[in-house]
Structure 1
């Protein structure tokens, strides 16, 4: 139903025109209501004047017209209430339609995006990536393969030769004699090696004294 009312731009424009018309009608009714209220107040004043001059019949006629004006005011109030109710319904329907249109637009956009990136395209892209990755691995393996003279070397022979070298090194270490314990650390004062005492030359008197002691010992 909402789609039939507001589904097309022309119908939506008609709905806006209807709201404008209701607003105009509401303003017109409010103006008439104010006029009738003023007329009812004027009839009250006339009734007071006729009462002061003891014209009871004329005063009653004024009050009757006042009642008629008041009835019309009440009727206009009911009309305004109906118009307000209709405007609220139309505004709510318009908001609902705009919401539905926005959701429909979002769903269409999402559908278009899913169509542009469907599962087949994703699988195809992943296959291409895997293929390129495998090609790159093959290229790297081809570049790392030895060529020329290095390609003629037998890896098994090289490993056997390396094992022989390791066995020979181990045997040589076992045949070496045990080394002596290292000497204890030599303390050095003030970071200097102590100098050897320099022998002093004896004087002539010391030589004579030594000769005398030798003779006495004999």
Structure 2
């Protein structure tokens, strides 16, 4: 038997089962046809018996009824034959379904066994080790690419932050120490009667007022 037959069932046996089912179906159809013929003959004998009875021919009527009984016996026998064939067909179809199920399960088991042979636990462990090794190597490569190189690698982040704070403090101090806007000169006294209207003092901006107030607080 070839490997195909071993794995995928037995085509010869399946073909025999199908042929048997076909034969049983043909026989069943033949019995049904005979049964119909016999039913018709039995009905005809009943009609004849009625005719002979009306003709006062009792003997002929009885003969018709005897033939009707014989036909009915044959009809009953054909019915039993049909029941037997039905039973055989049911059993055969059940056996066929069982065989197909077992063959399918056998095929699945063989496929699983073949896959297990192709991929054993050692191969799986080896593959997982290779994957873990590659993952670790990739992490190391990414870390190496993330690290600064050259002069930038020597810079201390804490020192850079301290330097930035000093720059910010110096900038603030410089802003606070800027000289205030020059105030207008004191008016020169003039003799009475010759006083002229003093020029109106220039208005300072809000920014200048805020800076002057801050200077006054620092002077305290």
Q: Which position in structure 1 is the counterpart of 2:201? A: none
Picking from 76, 79, 82, the partner of 2:78 is: 76
Of stretches 133-142 and 47-56 in structure 1, the one that deviates more from structure 2 is 133-142
Structure 1 gaps, min length 5: 1-6, 170-178, 180-195, 200-206, 212-218
Q: Which position in structure 2 is the counterpart of 1:47? A: 49
1:148, distance to aligned residue in structure 2 (A): 7.5
1:52–1:144 distance in 2 versus 1, CA, 3 Å: closer
**Cα deviations by residue, 1:73-127 (Å, 9 ceiling, x for unpaired):** 0110011011111111111111222222222222222333333332111101111
Distance 2:70 2:20 in 1: 31
1:69–1:139 distance in 2 versus 1, CA, 3 Å: same
Q: Which position in structure 2 is the counterpart of 1:93? A: 95
1:26, distance to aligned residue in structure 2 (A): 0.3
Q: Which position in structure 2 is the counterpart of 1:12? A: 14
**Cα deviations by residue, 1:40-67 (Å, 9 ceiling, x for unpaired):** 1111111112212221111111101100
Q: Which position in structure 1 is the counterpart of 2:59? A: 57
1:112–1:210 distance in 2 versus 1, CA, 3 Å: same
1:53–1:119 distance in 2 versus 1, CA, 3 Å: same
Q: Write the mapping of 1:93-172 to structure 2, written as runs, cut at 5 A.
A: 93-137=95-139, 139=141
1:52–1:132 distance in 2 versus 1, CA, 3 Å: same
Of stretches 8-17 and 112-121 in structure 1, the one that deviates more from structure 2 is 112-121
Q: Which position in structure 2 is the counterpart of 1:25? A: 27
Distance 1:145 1:51 in 2: 123
SS at match of 1:18: helix
1:72, distance to aligned residue in structure 2 (A): 0.6
Structure with higher RCO (Cα < 8 A, 6+ apart): 2
Structure 2 gaps, min length 5: 1-8, 167-175, 177-183, 195-220
1:133–1:57 distance in 2 versus 1, CA, 3 Å: same
Distance 2:147 2:40 in 1: 109
Query: TM-score scaled by structure 2?
Result: 0.61
